């Protein structure tokens, strides 16, 4: 906002008020004093004020108490910048002539120069009492109030002045400027526009008029006036900066960026604009530059909480959680406002420091228990901490509030419903993980009852019944989920997975095929379908799915092994070996490749080669237990019972399945009997 050039105003008023004394002398003045006076006037005209003052002092010494000499000496001191001496002699002049209003005005002008605006006002007021019809003095009274920051009273005096001088550019602009400083933007606009219309050639305050339009959110008119301002004065960095601000609001980002650059080139220390500049840079994706702008703004304005919030949010957007926390922590020491505390808690939350976030919300609620935002976010923290029951209690309490009450805190009613549901699903999932299937069923059923049109509850309940071994209930709940979301391929995928886990491989193929149909780019599901085909002995179907995945994952050695194994089951060892060797070329450290090569060699009755491959598998991974089984089986085949027993016993050490253990023990006993015989 442009500052009025008060020194020019005051100097002009001084000259106007005392100019009538320049060529006049007092009748009481002696002839010698008069000559000194005239000589002093001559030096004054040449702006040789020190010499003029010396002569005027001599003249006054010759003719003491002369009002003309006293007044003129005061004026000379004023012009020479000796304010205190000027005031002293004006006061002496008032003692000689207490009814001279212009003497009070002159002292008032000098007080203004000293920024003693209230003292200046008292002088102007005294002048007005002496000369009530001198309406021009209302401008002085208005100026004194303006510079004292009393803009409302300034407007009152300016209006009185404008009653007599309605076309005065200065008073009109000062009135508008006062409204602007009072943030009464509409009246500021009216006053500026009125002044502009009355003084179309002289009006220059386009920058301040633009600012009034900007603050009133009339962005296009603001832009128009700022453009006029920079056209009038290409060095007006404030106008360039404000033009950039309004252009950023109008989404004219490139133009705004260019004008910010111009403003900063004219005034590199223009830090007041760095906040809005940071916002623009952020919107343009220039995040590193935005960070610098916010940092520079904070350095100049360390008490502005919004700058800390914006910088903290920007770091958070860049996934720099700890930097976000550091900035917001600093900001929260400056402002105890909940907005910044909330953002700090959200950064803690992002960094999974849920307890610290929870502490902030608990502290806020201890001071303000009606802060629904703090309450809701506390629920989110509890949910993240897996304290589902406590979170559920909070969410359900919030659900009783009216939508309008929640919106006051930026919360939508639907958010509460969604949180109740998602928390219930997470809670039930946790119960399943803990094998508390009864509790899981209760929670899933309540979630379904409250939200029958959301599929997650049905899917969760189906998985719970999967753990309980109830195939009919599994199918029932997946089918209900599909009634709600018939095109959700993930439900079909989960459906097929559950049936597969329950050993129903044939039925599992149908939902998995549907999942692939709905999302042909989901190669994970295709591989899963291949696995199910393999388990249901549909080896050709498995190969078809695996090869589809292979198109996308050509270097997947485990996938190549799966394809090779399918060919082996189809008794096509030639193709099987081809895929095993491809896998070996990709990953020669994969023990599974050697095991499967060993199986092929076993089928080809190349038992030494089979043993060599099984041993290589174990060499690569001594815990690869199936390798010991392969060696044992091969030695059994070539009737080397001792070695067969040795490797079966090694295999037996790491078997967990009791049924398999029994079979291996029986095999070992059988081999021992063979040795005895």
Asked if 513 contacts 493 with a C-beta cutoff of 8 angstroms, the reply is no
Asked if 631 contacts 617 with a C-beta cutoff of 8 angstroms, the reply is no
C-alpha–C-alpha distance, residues 15 and 141, integer Å: 18
C-alpha–C-alpha distance, residues 187 and 174, integer Å: 12
Asked if 552 contacts 521 with a C-beta cutoff of 8 angstroms, the reply is no
At which residue do the structure tokens 């950023």 appear? 248
C-alpha–C-alpha distance, residues 130 and 444, integer Å: 90
Asked if 311 contacts 296 with a C-beta cutoff of 8 angstroms, the reply is no
pTM, entire model: 0.71
C-alpha–C-alpha distance, residues 211 and 241, integer Å: 11
**Lookup: tokens for 372:** 């629904």
pLDDT for 374: 97
Cα 549 → chain centroid: 41
Helix (H, G, I), strand (E, B) or coil at 566: helix
C-alpha–C-alpha distance, residues 141 and 161, integer Å: 9
C-alpha–C-alpha distance, residues 137 and 145, integer Å: 13
Separate counts of helices (H) and strands (E) for the chain: 39, 0
**Lookup: tokens for 432:** 């399943």
pLDDT for 18: 44
The DSSP annotation for 267-305 comes to -TT-GGGHHHHHHHHHHTT-HHHHHHHHHHHHHH-TT-H
Q: CA distances (Å), 421 to each of 189, 195, 440, 459, 650, in order?
A: 52, 62, 14, 13, 51
Report the half-sphere exposure of 585 (CA within 13 A, side-chain side). Answer: 9
Local mean pLDDT, 10-residue blocks, the chain (677 residues): 47 43 57 92 94 94 92 95 96 95 96 95 96 95 96 97 94 96 96 94 94 96 96 95 96 96 94 95 95 96 95 96 96 92 96 97 96 97 97 96 96 96 96 95 94 93 94 95 94 95 94 95 94 95 94 93 94 93 94 94 93 94 94 93 92 89 90 80
Cα 271 → chain centroid: 20
At which residue do the structure tokens 């079966």 appear? 648
Instruction: Classify 265 in phi/psi space as left (phi over 0), alpha (psi -120 to 50) or beta.
Output: alpha
Q: Is the dihedral of CA 145, 149, 155, 156 positive or negative?
A: negative
> Which 3-state string (H, E, C) describes 454-466?
CCHHHHHHHHHHH
Q: CA distances (Å), 175 to each of 7, 171, 188, 643, 672, in order?
A: 18, 6, 8, 108, 114
Cα separation of the two ends of the chain: 111
Selection from 234, 294, 241, 290 nearest residue 264 by Cα: 241
Selection from 361, 390, 366 nearest residue 377 by Cα: 361
C-alpha–C-alpha distance, residues 532 and 550, integer Å: 17
Selection from 629, 566, 646 nearest residue 595 by Cα: 629
Q: CA distances (Å), 495 to each of 84, 424, 462, 477, in order?
A: 95, 21, 8, 9
pLDDT for 29: 83
At which residue do the structure tokens 């190349």 appear? 606
DSSP code for 401: S
Asked if 29 contacts 66 with a C-beta cutoff of 8 angstroms, the reply is yes
Per residue in 176-194, is it b (16+ CB within 10 Å) or e — as a string? bbbbbeeebbebbbebbbe
Asked if 631 contacts 611 with a C-beta cutoff of 8 angstroms, the reply is yes
- The stretches of 301-436 forming alpha helices (DSSP H) are 305-317, 321-334, 338-350, 354-367, 372-384, 388-398, 403-407, 413-433
228-233 long-range Cβ contacts below 8 angstroms, 24+ apart: 232/204, 232/206
Q: CA distances (Å), 42 to each of 47, 55, 436, in order?
A: 9, 11, 108
Helix (H, G, I), strand (E, B) or coil at 408: coil
């Amino acid at each position: 906002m442009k500052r009025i050039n008060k020194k020019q105003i005051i100097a002009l008023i001084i000259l106007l008020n005392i100019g009538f004394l320049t060529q006049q002398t007092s009748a009481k003045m002696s002839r010698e004093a008069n000559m000194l006076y005239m000589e002093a006037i001559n030096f004054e005209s040449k702006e040789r004020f020190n010499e003029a003052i010396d002569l005027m002092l001599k003249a006054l010494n010759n003719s003491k108490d002369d009002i003309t000499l006293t007044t003129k000496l005061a004026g000379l001191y004023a012009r020479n910048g000796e304010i205190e001496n000027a005031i002293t002699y004006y006061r002496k002049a008032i003692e000689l002539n207490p009814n001279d209003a212009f003497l009070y005005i002159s002292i008032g002008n000098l007080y203004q120069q000293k920024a003693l605006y209230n003292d200046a006002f008292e002088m102007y007021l005294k002048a007005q009492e002496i000369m009530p019809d001198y309406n021009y003095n209302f401008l002085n009274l208005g100026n004194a109030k303006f510079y004292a920051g009393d803009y409302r009273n300034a407007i009152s005096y300016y209006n009185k002045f404008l009653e007599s001088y309605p076309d005065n550019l200065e008073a009109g602009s000062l009135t508008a400027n006062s409204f602007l400083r009072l943030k009464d933007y509409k009246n500021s606009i009216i006053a500026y526009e009125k002044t502009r219309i009355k003084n179309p050639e002289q009006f220059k305050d386009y920058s301040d008029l633009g600012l009034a339009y900007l603050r009133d959110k009339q962005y296009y008119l603001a832009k128009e006036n700022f453009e006029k301002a920079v056209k009038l004065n290409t060095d007006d960095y404030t106008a360039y900066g404000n033009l950039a601000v309004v252009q950023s609001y109008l989404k004219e980002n490139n133009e705004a960026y260019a004008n910010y650059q111009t403003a900063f080139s004219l005034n590199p220390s223009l830090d007041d604009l760095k906040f809005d500049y940071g916002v623009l840079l952020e919107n343009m994706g220039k995040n590193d530059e935005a960070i610098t702008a916010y940092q520079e703004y904070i350095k100049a304005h360390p008490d502005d909480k919004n700058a800390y919030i914006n910088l903290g949010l920007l770091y958070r957007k860049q996934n720099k959680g700890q930097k976000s926390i550091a900035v917001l922590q600093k900001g929260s020491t400056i402002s105890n406002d909940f907005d910044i505390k909330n953002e700090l808690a959200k950064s803690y939350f992002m960094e999974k420091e849920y307890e610290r976030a929870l502490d902030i919300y608990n502290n806020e609620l201890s001071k303000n228990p009606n802060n629904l935002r703090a309450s809701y976010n506390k629920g989110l923290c509890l949910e993240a901490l897996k304290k589902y029951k406590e979170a559920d209690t909070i969410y359900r309490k919030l659900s009783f509030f009216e939508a309008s009450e929640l919106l006051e805190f930026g919360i939508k009613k639907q958010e509460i419903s969604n949180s109740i549901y998602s928390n219930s699903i997470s809670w039930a999932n946790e119960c399943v993980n803990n094998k508390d299937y009864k509790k899981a069923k209760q929670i899933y059923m309540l979630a379904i009852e409250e939200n029958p049109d959301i599929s997650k509850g049905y899917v969760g309940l189906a998985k719970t019944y999967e753990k309980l071994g109830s195939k009919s209930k599994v199918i029932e709940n997946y089918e209900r989920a599909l009634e709600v979301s018939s095109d959700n391929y993930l439900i079909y995928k989960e459906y097929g997975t559950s049936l597969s886990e329950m050993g129903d491989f044939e039925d599992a193929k149908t939902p998995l095929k549907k999942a692939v149909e709905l999302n042909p780019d989901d190669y994970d599901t295709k591989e899963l379908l291949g696995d199910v085909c393999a388990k249901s002995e549909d080896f050709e179907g498995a190969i078809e799915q695996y090869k589809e995945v292979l198109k996308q994952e050509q270097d997947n050695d485990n996938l190549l092994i799966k394809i090779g194994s399918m060919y082996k089951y189809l008794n096509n060892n030639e193709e099987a070996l081809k895929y095993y060797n491809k896998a070996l070329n990709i990953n020669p450290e994969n023990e599974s490749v050697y095991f499967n090569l060993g199986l092929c060699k076993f089928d080809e009755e190349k038992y030494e080669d089979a043993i060599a491959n099984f041993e290589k598998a174990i060499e690569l991974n001594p815990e690869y237990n199936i390798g010991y089984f392969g060696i044992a089986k091969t030695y059994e085949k070539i009737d080397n019972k001792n070695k067969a027993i040795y490797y079966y016993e090694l295999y037996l050490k790491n078997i967990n399945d009791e049924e398999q253990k029994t079979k291996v023990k029986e095999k070992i006993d059988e081999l021992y009997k063979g040795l005895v015989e």
